[in-house]
Structure 1
């Protein structure tokens, strides 16, 4: 279950325009009208969303209910509680999070594990659908369920009521869950945790927050008395600290009546403790800390300047929030551009003004340093911040940033009636828990549209002057231990700051091209064949140059068009000598410009356009993928034509890529997870360069000229390409672009196929143990490999086997044996170059438990092989698939995957219409047969990661 990682605290709440939704103040009708008048009332309170039903019961419990039919026949319910780890006493460290776990381990109406079992039978997936998270100040429970079943809907509300106050908290279930939470804690241990424990007191100004991480302590989790958890539950799980959010395809009045019926009897404790609002105080001083660890791979520098929080409650506040968004946009564009130079001073850098934590906002700037070049990266970052302070931004930068935000606003408004329920849930969740705005779609759109044109460059520049100050500043450095000598001490870092501030820094020059993207207009081709695929409401066209195009118009979104193209071949057609150049060709071209625009010019040209087209080369194919709206279609097809006929790999992009790749791999051997993964791949594929992580020598073998040659070879012949286009268009709308930009692509009529490279796992399984890492924890990966009879029915049985085994592994390894936090099975099958499969079971645990847990996992596998799956587990898989299919059939991305995948694998694209029929044919015997066919002992490979040997 989700826990906030403090290392990311500084970047958890960057407030971008598209996430600004409204304020926690209701308005009269007259006040609302202020927003549509020409004269803006700056101090008018922001209106609350008028499309949600809200209420507060006599006991203090609040609710938010909204009807939304995307997706149809579904409802999402969240229980928000203002209860987090900050409320714990020293004897309760970790109990807020532990309590979250216990709400899945026995409720008044769902004892023991009946909750998960019941919901799985309804098609609700544990972990991805049914879930919860605990943070410093809140615990939130989520339950998306079908709304077309009255009993299920009724029981879903009962679950929320039980979560609110009716956990059973039996001795037996508490003791069982101790082990699960300890394993979750163990899994989080490592370099990041060890460094976090050192810098967190600095980041959080030694406030209570720095001693209240939600995961708690091993001592408390192991030893707390049962009544301590029950006391925490009684004190804090109470109606005045809770709200229910319901959004979906429901009757609002009926839901409101049910909420009143179920939640009105919730009781307050006799003497409730006060819910104190804790804060992180400003110390009015600067701080510095550098921490190292032998197992971390990167050096990160972070500058955080804390400020009192600025709440967004009025029109004026909203406008300032827009200013911050424009400032962040321009600043990050500068940092990104510098990072793409031939010799970039850092691997990556970013900066923003936004929310922090507990009553604070912050200016945050972060960079990932190249190995042993911290000074260079630090000064480069500070230099760009100083450049903005001294010279500001250019008017063209300002215009682009405003254009990008305007486009986002227009896109969001266009899709307002297709908006998913989850987005509304998060709106009201943040309103209740964080006092964040909760504007209606109309008000949000109107405010953005009205206020954006009123912003000036000068006031946006003032954001930096307000927030980038020499006060309440933290400098935090995290690095590999072997780079300790190259890191600055505090006085040195301050000296670097002073050096940069005293430099004669020149103003930024905004280089923008006025050239069109393409140097020449393509010679128009034609559509020569047109065939209907009636079963899926699609059409297959053939163009005059041989290109095949599959069109699937939909109404799932108002303005979303997905584009994919592929051709067989890929890097399989090239020798090992050319492999590194071939495998990087697609990403190098994609990172460069196209046509007449270089990479920086292209990025600026694309600002304000909802378009992206990216070329790729994989092992067995090459192609393009991307998206557009209707307004951007010409740009999208110009880019497609350009990536075929005018690709480039720029010198700066190439040098920057090589430099960054060398930097990123320099310290990875210190990371236990990397060493483990590398060892697995080397042992499975005998060190084949196409399967193991690229080495420093491999990076140096990438040849710029050869990479471009290979790319051009792969895209020289469009005749064997298949384009798939899915989304909100008509054939008449898309046809002119196909004729102009796709039918005009070069055609050589080559007959190419990808090559079978013969890279397969060994015939017989084996065990490999890797010792790496100082933490006393183990990782076990059990995988079966072999040849596979690839077909639709076999694939379905394999998916079912994955599902039923995952259920049993969680029940046994987690719930019964308390030995793991997470586990499950994962099946993977492939058709080409020949039928192959892998079937993996993995988990993390303590060093003394990994072997018994392996035995338990294999025992569950053998049970399925001997007896087949439990019939009820197989039924859970079927209903889950049916329920997921109801949602998937209304998603553009699902249809893109289905259609383009079918053409690549030479399969029937209409199979999806028969999927549910085959699903009903699944039996205990058919799954048992597949288990015995593929989960053979001699095909089992065991890979174990253990700590360093002492």
Structure 2
């Protein structure tokens, strides 16, 4: 449960408008394919069954079998904080909370309890959000249980109009919402309070943040909330979206029966539509805060929102997506300079807030270089405005677009149910038609070729204008006196406008990535694992390969690899160089291509390869479609045989790292995290955050040499490949590009560095921060009896304790918004475990809530968990695994982790049977074994003012 501002008020990153399609498949249905009339209305997806009940309630139903035996239900209501009166601030969001605290058929907390028993997780599955203009509830549930499916619909019906809003439950929830509000307090929020009225043009939106105000949340009457519910939770403002593995006709029948009796309130108020006016004026504001770690500057140029109703509107949206992609590429290139002008910079055309679009430029400045960063961003967009993009740039962007649409369309029958929901929500909330997969493909393919370079370039002139422009600076308090004023910034803009700016030179090269194609090796050993659908190979150079062909996706192939070693093989003096070795090489390009040229070379290709060097291993992760699989293997081979070192890129990257670290310790959370690591690991360089001074310890040449050392010998690499391939398709590539990798036959193992927390626990309090809020972290550490059975029991303890902590700290004591328990365990280098409990609260509740949390731990240690909570864990695990077993990502991780831990991956096949071993006594025993009082570490972050309190 959370509030959502749906706007761009902090650092705004470029947004790419993503669509879907595929070339060469069956001819899609929809509009005529020979000619396109740009004034024709966009067709509505016919794959969704839509209807409106006599009372005004709307519904969207779609059958979709991915994932199998699952359905997602969303209840959308056009009720948000914008409708609140001055006496109701925050009540739309508060009401969203109350829907989980008692409805007609699920009083008090029975709703969460019932769904948890069905394997639905509170927070990650069962959730909701409140925004300015809408509140949306989500419920993903299994659809193979008729009773559960029926009750899922009943939950939606209850949410639509049957919240109980019990007075005692309302009062209990005040503390939860106040803690959610408290958790959001900090530098960003304090600055936002200052600049919101400006960038929202003094509109109603500036005074209607969904979270509300402390005074209202603490003091509103029960009847005020009930009246808000009666006024606005009504059928003419609501819609139900149901997508999943269901019978559409039967679902419609049930919806008609269940929702037909929703009532309109007497004298229902009109649902007024609000907007943000355009004033035609330019505005300026600089805000500072002592906890703001960087100087960020934004230029927000507002425009009326562009409708997307017709084919021509859609074509314009595609042109904007091309513009944004082209601009992003330009700024990526700027950051690769040896002395980049900013930490991060860019800009894009996109949505802003109700009724407005915006062209937004942003820049995070290096310390003391705000003018330089601002000049660089504005100059680049002035270059675009004057000279436009080049034909070769546009051609690459179009190729990338076509690849994305083709790839997505290829997966149309594997598309997840969840991915349809946003479009149907937008149709209900914004009245924009939803294109079918086929029409999206066809329109995208037809329209992208008609978009000219002149049209894309014209967007820069249309959106980059000198009216309705806001300039916003957010900076550290200590830099307040050196910040430019409005007149100074206007002078900067004028100077750039009068300067000579050369056109962009798009230097492109087209040569083979590998100078010579490698000679194929052979397979020396083969083992079939039919129970897993896996073939395990040993190649002639020693590389081990696991192949798992799947039909989970139509065009998705994922690869991962590891080799023992990593940074653990290097001294503390070389640790940082080793840590950044893969970053240095990965950012330098490959073979004959520098980083910029490599990006251009790979345009239009669905491929990614990323080398890494971790503490105990090195390797790579890769993904590809079928068409570009050879390119993926060439890239993999290239990182072993022809890596590059680009000193200019390295220097520029390290400059940006230094700049981002300069004020890091102004953030209380950063200080808190550093203190925890310093205490637990005795300031070991391998466990502490890097400082500005340490950046200079990174030697680029040594980092490059370390990379080459780690990838000089492939004989101890294990490669796992999962996805939409056949063995016949992939084996020629495996033999040519993997079996030919260099092999020295060296034997390496990652050593035990001996970096562990103290054996006995302790307590440490950090006093940092202006806000009256606190964070608590409780940790247990120690040696561990690693085994599959032990892991299962510790996982069960984590899940059960999460349930109990939410029930106690949130629901019973109203002391937190969120609380979590987390378990982890490692087999190497030593069998170890950690178990943590984390929450945020007000300073006065730190000790009482800590006592309550530890009391819940003690209850499990003394009495064991209740059977109902064990059943919830088992149900959750079963339901999760049902879905995971049909996902490439799950199998990639499971297989690779099993090989790395020297375990048989087939244990997953018996996992569901082993769940019966989780009992009250087994969890009690695991809690007593590992949640030992002597091993408890307590870390507390308190506000600075608390240190001064006697």
TM range (shorter): over 0.9
Partner residue of 1:8? 8
Distance 1:11 1:692, change over 3 A: closer
- How many residues end up aligned between the 2 structures? 940
SS at match of 1:206: coil
Residues 554, 729 of structure 1: 8 Å contact kept: yes
Distance 1:572 1:766 in 2: 28
Give the corresponding residue for 2:394: 398
Name which of structure 1's ranges 800-809 and 522-531 shifts more when overlaid on structure 2. Answer: 522-531
CA 1:548–1:15: 2 relative to 1, 3 Å: closer
The correspondence for 2:786, drawn from 785, 790, 807, is 790
Alignment of 1:320-469 (within 5 A): 320-469=316-465
Contact in 1 for aligned 2:780/2:936 (Cα 8 Å): yes
Q: By how many angstroms is 1:36 displaced?
A: 2.3
Question: Which of 623, 633, 658 does residue 654 from structure 2 map onto?
Answer: 658
TM-score by length of 2: 0.98
1:112 paired residue number: 108
Equivalences for 1:70-149 in 2 at 5 Å? 70-149=66-145
Instruction: Kindly indicate whether residue 852 of structure 2 is the aligned counterpart of residue 856 of structure 1.
Output: yes
Task: Report SS of the residue matched to 2:174.
Answer: helix
1:58 aligns with 2:54: yes
CA contact 1:174–1:226 (8 Å) conserved in 2: yes
User: Is the counterpart of residue 517 in structure 1 residue 513 in structure 2?
Assistant: yes
SS in 1 for 2:8: helix
1:7 Cα deviation from its structure 2 partner: 7.0
CA deviation vs aligned residue, 1:3-56 (integer Å, no higher than 9, x gap): 2257734888976432599xxxxxxxxxx9883232211111000000110000
CA offset at residue 821 of structure 1?
0.3
Taking the aligned partners of 1:733 and 1:939, their CA distance within structure 2 comes to 53
1:647 aligns with 2:643: yes
Residues 894, 905 of structure 2: 8 Å contact kept: yes
Aligned to 1:903: 899
Q: 1:801 aligns with which of 797, 802, 808?
A: 797
Distance 2:54 2:19 in 1: 32
Partner of 2:18: 18
CA contact (8 A) 1:10 1:362 kept: no
Question: Equivalent residue of 1:834, what SS?
Answer: coil
Pairing 1:847–2:843 present: yes
Match of 1:207 among 197, 203, 221: 203
Check the 8 A contact 1:782/1:941 in 2, yes or no. Answer: yes
Mark the runs of 5 or more structure 1 residues left unpaired by the alignment.
Answer: 22-31
Answer yes or no: is the 8 Å Cα contact 1:540–1:550 preserved in 2: yes
SS of 1:48's equivalent? coil
Report the counterpart of residue 607 of structure 2 in structure 1. 611
Give the superposed CA RMSD: 1.3
Q: 1:15 touches 1:355 (CA, 8 Å); kept in 2?
A: no
Tell me the SS of whatever aligns to 2:618: strand
Kept in 1: contact 2:132–2:210 (CA 8 A): yes
The answer on 1:224 being equivalent to 2:220 is yes
Give the 5 Å matches for 1:885-904.
885-904=881-900
698, 721, 734: which one pairs with 2:730? 734
Whole-angstrom CA distance in 2 between matches of 1:20 and 1:283: 37
Cα shift at 1:362 = 0.9
Change (3 A) 1:4 1:624: same
1:532 aligns to what SS in structure 2?
A: strand
For the pair 1:631 / 2:627, whether they are aligned, the reply is yes
CA contact (8 A) 1:303 1:366 kept: yes
**1:685-708 Cα distance to aligned partner (Å, 9 max, x none):** 110000000112211100010001
Name the CA distance, whole Å, in 2 between partners of 1:12 and 1:268.
41
| 2-structure distance, mates of 1:696, 1:7 | 33
Q: Distance in 2 between matches of 1:13 and 1:220?
A: 34
Partner residue, 2:873 = 877
1:754-807 CA-partner distances (Å, limit 9, x unpaired): 010000000000000000001011111110011111110000000000010010
C-alpha change, 1:8 and 1:356, in structure 2 (3 Å) is closer
Q: What is aligned with 1:675?
A: 671
- 1:851 Cα deviation (Å)? 0.1
1:339 to partner: Cα distance: 1.2
Deviations 1:309-366 (A, max 9, x none): 1110001101111111111111111011101111000111121111111111111111
Check whether the contact 2:167–2:222 (CA below 8 A) recurs between aligned residues: yes
Task: After superposition, give the CA deviation of every residue in 1:368-388 in whole Å (9 maximum; x if it has no partner).
Answer: 111111110000000000000
Question: Is 1:161 the equivalent of 2:157?
Answer: yes
Aligned to 1:760: 756
Q: What pairs up with 1:678-697 in 2 under 5 angstroms?
A: 678-697=674-693
8 Å CA contact 1:35–1:41 kept in 2: the answer is no
* CA offset digits 1:786-836 (Å, max 9, x no partner): 111111000000000001001000000000000000002100111110011
Report the equivalent of 2:538: 542
Q: Which residues of structure 2 form unaligned runs of 5+? A: 22-27
Q: Is the 8 A contact 2:14 2:346 kept in 1?
A: no
SS at match of 2:528: strand
Answer whether contact 2:423 2:434 (CA < 8 A) is retained: yes
Determine if contact 1:783/1:941 at 8 Å carries over to the other structure: yes
SS at structure 1 position matched to 2:800: helix
Alpha-carbon distance, 1:915 to partner: 0.8
User: Residue 486 of structure 1: CA displacement?
Assistant: 2.7
- Partner secondary structure for residue 844 of structure 2: coil
- SS of the residue corresponding to residue 839 of structure 2 reads strand
Post-superposition Cα deviations, 1:43-97, rounded to whole Å, max 9, x if no partner, equal 1100000011000001100000000000010000000000000000000000000
Tell me if 1:279 matches 2:264.
Answer: no
- Give the Cα separation in 2 of the matches to 1:354 and 1:482: 33
1:477 match: secondary structure: strand
1:845-901 per-residue CA deviation (whole Å, 9 max, x = no partner) reads 011011000000000000000011111001100000000000000000000010000
Q: How far did 1:156 drift?
A: 0.2
In structure 2, the CA distance between the partners of 1:701 and 1:15, relative to structure 1 (3 Å rule), is closer
Equivalent in 167, 170, 186 of residue 174 of structure 1: 170
SS where residue 454 of structure 1 aligns? coil
Q: Could you tell me whether the CA contact under 8 Å between 2:11 and 2:362 is conserved in 1?
A: no
| 8 A Cα contact 1:286 1:474, kept in partner | yes
> Which residue of the other structure, out of 249, 257, 270, is the alignment partner of 2:253?
257
- Once the two structures are overlaid, the 10-residue window that deviates more, 141-150 or 585-594, is 585-594
TM-score after normalising by structure 1: 0.98
Aligned 8 A contact 1:305 1:467 in 2: yes
Check the 8 A contact 2:20/2:404 in 1, yes or no: no
| SS at 2:362 equivalent | strand
Deviations 1:235-279 (A, max 9, x none): 000000000000000010110010000101000011011101000
Given that 2:5 and 2:132 are in contact with CA atoms closer than 8 Å, whether structure 1 keeps it comes out as no
Q: Is 1:42 equivalent to 2:38 in the alignment?
A: yes
Q: Give the corresponding residue for 1:829.
A: 825
What is aligned with 1:495? 491
